[in-house]
Chains A and B, each alone.
Chain A
Amino acid sequence: MPSTLTLAASGGAQTGAGPDPASPLCLRGLTVSYGDKPALFSVDATFPAGAMSAIIGPNGAGKSTLLKAALGLIPTVSGQVTVYGQPVAAARDRIAYVPQRASVDWDFPTTVIDVVLMGRYRKLGLFRRVSRAERALALDALARVGMEGFADRQIGQLSGGQQQRVFLARALAQDADLYVLDEPFAGVDAATERAIIDLLKGLKAQGKSVIAVHHDLATVAGYFDHVFLVNVRAMAEGPVETTFTPAALAQTYGGRLAATHLDQLALTVR
């Protein structure tokens, strides 16, 4: 096959068509549409276990849609999603999801610790009291994101970076194997970005898998092991060193990345 085709239609293609049971998130032929326009078309992806993966593409390329469809939050037109070889519905306990910060109303009448305890819902159910151990777990999650002093703070009083840390603490409280984050660095301060990336790398060191929608091309090589390039269709997937190339980026972004920008990126990659 010509090399151009392998670049374009890669993803699961070379690994055969069946889902990979070892992969924390494996997509086969995933198509999602808004109206009669595909937001994602026949996307194959196999995210590796125990690694940090970035989902990259221009605005409107379907990055967030990909996460939402993969987690079963929005309807799909076709395709198959497996989480560690299981259907998503059977693997909910193994997934921690961090939605976009802007997707909720931060004016909601609740406190930081309450939001973090929402991460324990599957363990607590309707009636079980929040035991001292559960509370300690939530406080520990807050401490890990550097928010230990904020437990009883009103969520409306948090800065953008603090909101993101609280969301991350909620995900930590879920004690999952796969962490799925939708633009975790959007609109946060540099200190928070540093704290979050250190934390995610810590999770990786524990053998957990991290998948994040990411915007900042300059930090991809520093933060992630694996990239998945998408623009409605899967453009390229693989280790950062071999896949995050100017050629692949140019194809993914079309005319929306200036050539000089690409050259600079090429320098950061090498």
Chain B
Amino acid sequence: MPDFLAALLLQAGYNATLVTIGAGLLGFAAGAAGTFLFLRKRALVSDAVAHATLPGVAIAFLVMVALGGNGQSLVGLLLGSALSAFAGLWLVEWIARTTRLAEDAAIGAVLSVFFGFGVVLLTVIQTLDRGRQAGLEDFLLGSTAGMLLQDAQTIAFGGALTVALIWVLRRPMTLVAFDAGHAAAMGIDTRRVDLAMMGLVMAVTVIGLKLVGLILIVAMLIIPAVTARFWTNRVERVLWTAGVIGGVSGYVGAALSASAPDLPTGPIIVLIAAGVFALSLLFAPARGVLASALAHRRFQARVHRRQGLLALVRAEPIHDPLTLRILRAEGLIRRDGVATDKGRALAAKIARDERRWDVARAVHQDTALTGRYDGLTPIEDVFTADQIADFDARLGGPQPVGG
């Protein structure tokens, strides 16, 4: 555990510190860039982009070797991966735009074919003398073990750069992610913003290749954004929340991995983020599963209670077992279904409110009422006490209950 603390406090050596900071920055960038994708309902485009990097890595290696190098330059490999990721992304959009195939089919086709072709190239490389030690397989799952100083610097610098870019572009991208049509009407070139968004996703993917690998970088782009969505409805807050979740997962995951060598960095980062997701899914206030299940039960009880009272107003028999149970539990009806005094009193109030609503709807025929006369919204929530007193004046004296 002291090792972990040391790593967490950036005391575990220069390389590990750089990687940890880089993972934190990359996690933040991935969370934020992924939010734009998620809000545009294109989360899985990242899957295609990530898998499409593989042939680029292999080709870059082959080209560097052909030019006489040893093919190990991380910058060179990442450049190659960016180019093929861009080709994959372009193909996804081209297929979805020009053919009848939907985007999901285009994504699946591009990711499997590019990946398959990448594997073909990897087997070619394995037959080369130099290729055996190339370690290109590391790009599948990432590997921080034995990472070179310049690799760590590349990751830290790239992470910082993407975070800076997101900061610069946050306004137009937030607007487009929230409502593309409205953003376009405001004079924002949504096409260019979409392109910038995809550029960011590609940058995050490419920088994350060495750290977490091409399969798990998808997780860093998707999980924080989906998690943040459980905590807030506001676009800007989703963005920063996702960034923080991604950043913390990246930072803590990389520190954990640095202190325990048999914990691979990528999976640890992803599993931390997935843990935060699972907790949010279950327990987030308002949107979490537990909260919404309770809210739905309360809502259902309100509906049945109200319907039961309306039936009492009209002196109709109640058949629905849940309605009967709720009214009995509150002591509004007796076991034989006859209303108690309390039930009659409440029914009288409901009957009065219904008559008030009738008057209100006759008097206020404006859009302010739209959607408020839904049987559950109390009239006091919509009109002021003075207005209600006015309705009562128009109604005249108290009315008897029951038809």
Using a CB–CB cutoff of 8 Å, the interface residues on chain A facing chain B are 1-2, 4-5, 7-9, 13, 16-17, 29, 31, 33, 36-38, 41-42, 58, 60, 77-80, 107, 231-233, 250-251, 254-256
Contact = CB atoms under 8 A, between A and B. Distances in A.
A236 to B, nearest CB: 12
A19 to B, nearest CB: 10
Interface in B345-387: 354-355, 357-359, 361-362, 365-371, 373-376
Q: Which of B320, B367, B376 is packed against the most chain A CB atoms within 10 Å?
A: B376
B237 interface: no
Interface residues of B toward A: which range? 35 or more
Contacts of B307: 29, 31, 42, 78
Contact of B375 (A5, A38, A107, A250): A38
Interface stretch (B26-34, B62-70, B88-96, B309-317): B309-317
A27 to B, nearest CB: 13
Contacts of B300: 77-78
In the A-B complex, the 3 residue pairs with the smallest Cβ-Cβ separation, listed nearest first, are A41-B375, A255-B366, A4-B358
Contacts of A38: 303, 374-376
B375 A42 contact: yes
Contacts of B311: 17, 29
Contacts of B369: 254-255
B304 interface: yes
A5 B303 contact: no
A58 B371 CA distance: 11
Contacts of B296: 36
Interface of B: 100, 295-296, 299-300, 303-304, 306-307, 310-311, 314, 316-317, 319-320, 322-323, 354-355, 357-359, 361-362, 365-371, 373-376, 395, 399, 403
Contact of A16 (B299, B316, B322, B323): B316
Contact of A254 (B354, B361, B376): B361
27 contacts: A1-B399, A4-B355, A4-B359, A9-B314, A17-B311, A17-B319, A29-B307, A29-B320, A31-B375, A33-B303, A37-B374, A38-B375, A42-B307, A78-B300, A78-B304, A78-B320, A232-B374, A250-B365, A254-B361, A254-B365, A254-B366, A254-B367, A254-B369, A255-B367, A255-B369, A255-B370, A256-B370
Contacts of B368: 255
Contact of A256 (B306, B358, B367, B403): B367
